[in-house]
Amino acid sequence: MTTLDSVRDKVNSGERLDHDDGLFLLGEAPLLDLGQMAMGARRKRHPEPIVTFVVDTNPNYTNICDVDCTFCAFYRSPGHEEGYTHSVEEMLSRIGKSAEKGVTTVLMQGGVNKELPLEYYLDLVRGVRERYPNVTPHFWSAAEIEGMAEVSGLTLQEVLSELKKAGQTTIPGGGAEILSEPVRKKISHKKGQTHSWMDVHREAHAQGFRSTATMMYGHVETDEDVVTHFDAIRELQDEHHGFTAFVPWSFKPGNTPLVKKIPRHAGPNHYLRMLGAARLYLDNFDHVQASWFSEGKKTGQVALHWGADDFGGTLFEENVHAATGFINQTSTEEVKTIIREAGFRPAQRTTLYEILEVF
């Protein structure tokens, strides 16, 4: 039988938690005790009271997508009057304006737009590397990379190799949602099975890319599904140690087809439990990210005491969450203030978690 003491003993001895332990953390562990254990694990991995953040932005090159995820309010079907696709030059101009503001990471995703050739994506990566050498092109979700393979007739291995030759070194973890087949069939049945997301990141890691592991919870999943997700990314991390961080956020139902079934988003307690459980269960992840953006600034602050060591990015531009009516904005100075008020020292980092400056 799993108890708080049995989990604590495993954590203290460095023994890996199992599936039942994960279910206990998500469903039964007292929240304050969970936070205390998670902070102990965080301090063991990161002894200094430093919380990192990245100066970034999240523009979108297209909103046209044929995957029809029920949780998404951003996409427009091909042919829709509100659909758009920006040219490579338009996107490079926007990225240049962000670079002038000090942005070092551009996290860019859009939709699965079958009208775009592989060269479009390669030109964007090359353009950023040539014009803005201080900006990391943190581009394309797994579903988009699969779309590139389908359009070009190349394999995933070949597409990722071409992106690497163009200058790309990291990819975001978007599109993971919950890596459990029953959940994916309900909310994103066209996006591909769990192995589709895993295959992209496994191949990317094998080629030397680094990526993030994400999770969108708070919809139709159960605790069993969440632990299945944890198991999947932990096992993949054992293979190449290619994930830089784990990044969870709660589903926002506004303006989505799923709003009829899930009218409210998960609250702060649920979020803190998710972070604490992740810090303890994902024992091979160096970083766990707290999100002021998706959960609110106060919740983000508290999350720094539940095992998180990173505060995400400044996100000067963001449109996907905004489409649901959930909008948070900040500045670099406010991020530093929020971190300080939580009792930590802020430090600006790169996409790869290299510290640029401790404030």
Q: Which of 322, 311, 321 is nearest to 345 (CA)?
A: 311
**Tokens of residue 198, six digits:** 């895993």
CA distance 272 to 304: 9
Q: Using CB atoms within 10 A of its CB, is residue 207 exposed (0-12), middle (13-18) or buried (19+)?
A: middle
Give residue limits of the domains in the chain. Answer: 48-358
**pLDDT by residue for the chain (359 residues), tens digit each?**
899 999 999 999 999 999 999 999 999 999 999 999 999 999 999 999 999 999 998 899 988 887 666 656 665 777 778 888 899 999 999 999 999 999 999 999 888 888 999 999 999 999 999 999 999 999 999 999 999 999 999 999 999 999 999 999 999 998 898 999 998 888 776 666 778 999 999 999 999 999 999 999 988 899 999 999 999 999 999 999 999 999 999 887 666 666 666 656 668 999 999 999 999 999 999 999 998 877 888 999 999 999 999 999 887 654 444 444 444 567 889 899 999 999 999 999 999 999 999 99
> 132-150 in b/e burial notation, b at 16+ Cβ within 10 A?
beebbbbbbbbbbbbbbbe
CA dihedral 125, 351, 236, 71 (to 10 degrees): -80
Q: Using CB atoms within 10 A of its CB, is residue 264 exposed (0-12), middle (13-18) or buried (19+)?
A: exposed
Chain CA centroid to CA 209, Å? 15
**Whole-structure pTM value:** 0.91
**Tokens of residue 65, six digits:** 């997508």
CATH of domain 48-358: 3.20.20.70
Counting DSSP H helices and E strands in the chain, the numbers are: 14, 11
